[in-house]
């Protein structure tokens, strides 16, 4: 109420009772109970006076002016297009209240045991307070109510003031609205590049590479996998005088060398099979695929900007390009951004400095609902990875399983890790 009062330049005592909208005690418990968790859930939205009020578990309050005096439910619902109504089974088999129905709805959609779902939800919010937030007042008067959203076990949950429950895949949300993803694993560069290529999307996308101690070859190879006709790909290539002197090829005359071996993996992978037959290894391509890769060799298809100087100048070039893209009103997930690799940043700036460098870049990606991924080829359990993970929506962990590349996803905002699955190589 204090935030609303300040916005209206009024005293709290002059505002209408918030209990007409929601149960204030339940709201406080929902927020305060979960400040110990890293996740942002639950997020609560309701209309109060002339404002849409959004409160997260961190205690942050955001106010948005509403034009309608009596806003409809749609005016306070978050934009979660991936969420669909839960099945009727939650109502058919439940004699309990809203919290029980939510547990059953998530269990039905996720195929998890209700007891397991209940434990997972309890790590995110206080279920009794969830029950009380929109309940009728003691005198039987109905409250206007709030929407409640949270994510658990890989599923997003949206509860409307009337008790309607919606469920959607958290992974689908990332695919629809964009995300920043940390790509890790002590695997060869060829595996990291394959995983990277599969995050570049298909069809007509705006693809942007920021290469730090990787050659333009690696970007061209990945582009040849996903789309050999794109004329909107851009590469920002950081180089140094020493590296330029050692590289006998001019960037402006770059050609894909289809007979060259793939980059070797990091030193930590010296005992790993580096001869995995995957499609981004040129020697593994059949004749038609080799021709397809050669078709992509036209330098006019890719715009390359070379930054020769400081890492700061490299980062400035990324932000400038991002700013230009932001002005073009891109569709959600149209931008596919790759930062490869984070290793030089961490060596130069450490974890704290790297976070400061990446935060504005991640914000730019989020602003255009793009999908950005950031390559760091080390084990996920390294201290550096764990320190960086809160900056990202998800971490993709790669490994070699039986001689084949495999990966699993860690969805941070949903507190969920997928099973391992083979990385598609066709």
Residue ranges per domain, the chain? 2-169, 178-422
- Token pair for residue 333? 């997930």
Residue pair 392/182 in contact by the 8 Å Cβ criterion = yes
Residue pair 18/53 in contact by the 8 Å Cβ criterion = no
| Cβ-Cβ contacts under 8 Å for 346 (sequence gap 6 or more) | 354, 376, 384
pTM above 0.95, yes or no: no
**Per-residue pLDDT of the chain in tens (426 residues, 90 and over written 9):** 677 777 777 888 888 899 999 999 999 888 876 544 445 689 999 999 888 999 887 778 888 887 655 545 555 677 788 999 998 655 555 567 999 999 999 999 999 999 999 999 998 889 999 999 999 999 999 999 999 999 999 999 999 999 999 999 999 999 888 999 999 999 999 999 999 999 999 878 999 999 998 999 999 999 988 865 556 799 999 986 434 434 433 333 333 332 333 333 333 232 333 333 333 343 444 444 444 444 444 545 688 999 988 888 999 999 999 999 889 989 999 999 999 999 999 999 999 999 999 999 999 999 999 999 999 999 999 999 999 999 999 999 999 999 999 999 999 988 889 999 999 876
Other beta carbons less than 10 A from residue 240's beta carbon: 14
| Cβ-Cβ contacts under 8 Å for 64 (sequence gap 6 or more) | 51, 52, 54
Q: Give the DSSP H or E segment for 252.
A: none
178-422: what CATH class? alpha beta
Helices and strands per DSSP (H, E), number in the chain: 15, 17
- Token pair for residue 240? 């140094």
* Alpha-carbon gap, residue 2 to 51, rounded angstroms: 13
Other beta carbons less than 10 A from residue 414's beta carbon: 27
Range 276-296 burial, b when 16+ CB lie within 10 A, else e = bebbbbbeebeeebbeebeeb
């Amino acid at each position: 109420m204090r935030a609303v009062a300040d916005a209206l330049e009024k005293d709290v005592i002059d505002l209408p009772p918030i209990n007409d909208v929601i149960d204030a005690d339940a709201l406080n418990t929902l927020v305060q109970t979960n400040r110990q968790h890293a996740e942002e859930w639950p997020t609560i939205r309701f209309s109060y006076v002339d404002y849409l009020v959004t409160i997260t578990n961190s205690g942050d309050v955001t106010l948005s002016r509403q034009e309608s005096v009596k806003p409809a439910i749609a005016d306070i619902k978050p934009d979660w297009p991936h969420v669909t109504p839960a099945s009727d089974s939650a109502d058919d088999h439940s004699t309990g209240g809203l919290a029980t129905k939510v547990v059953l709805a998530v269990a039905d959609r996720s195929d998890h045991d209700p007891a397991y779902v209940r434990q997972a939800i309890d790590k995110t919010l206080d279920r009794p307070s969830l029950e009380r937030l929109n309940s009728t007042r003691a005198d039987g008067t109905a409250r206007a109510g709030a929407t409640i959203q949270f994510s658990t076990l890989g599923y997003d949950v949206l509860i409307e003031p009337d008790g309607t429950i919606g469920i959607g895949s958290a992974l689908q949300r990332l695919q629809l609205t964009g995300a920043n993803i940390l790509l890790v694993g002590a695997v060869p560069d060829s595996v990291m590049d394959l995983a990277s290529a599969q995050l570049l999307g298909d069809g007509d996308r705006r693809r942007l590479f920021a290469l730090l101690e990787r050659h333009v070859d690696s970007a061209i190879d990945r582009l040849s996998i996903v789309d050999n006709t794109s004329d909107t790909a851009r590469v920002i290539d950081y180089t140094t005088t020493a590296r330029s002197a050692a590289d006998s090829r001019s960037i402006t005359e770059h050609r894909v060398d289809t007979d060259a071996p793939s980059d070797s993996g990091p030193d930590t992978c010296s005992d790993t099979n580096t001869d995995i037959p995957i499609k981004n290894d040129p020697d593994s391509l059949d004749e038609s695929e080799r021709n397809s890769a050669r078709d992509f060799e036209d330098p006019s298809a890719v715009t390359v900007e070379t930054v020769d100087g400081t890492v700061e100048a490299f980062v400035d070039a990324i932000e400038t390009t991002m700013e230009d893209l932001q002005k073009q009103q891109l569709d959600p997930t149209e931008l596919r951004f790759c930062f490869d690799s984070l290793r030089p940043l961490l060596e130069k700036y450490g974890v704290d400095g790297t976070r400061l460098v990446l935060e504005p870049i991640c914000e730019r990606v989020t602003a255009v609902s793009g999908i950005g991924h950031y390559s760091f080829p080390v084990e996920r359990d390294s201290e550096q990875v764990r320190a960086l993970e809160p900056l990202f929506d998800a971490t993709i962990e790669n490994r070699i399983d039986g001689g084949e590349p495999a990966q699993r996803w860690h969805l941070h905002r949903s507190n969920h890790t997928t099973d391992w699955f083979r990385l598609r190589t066709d």
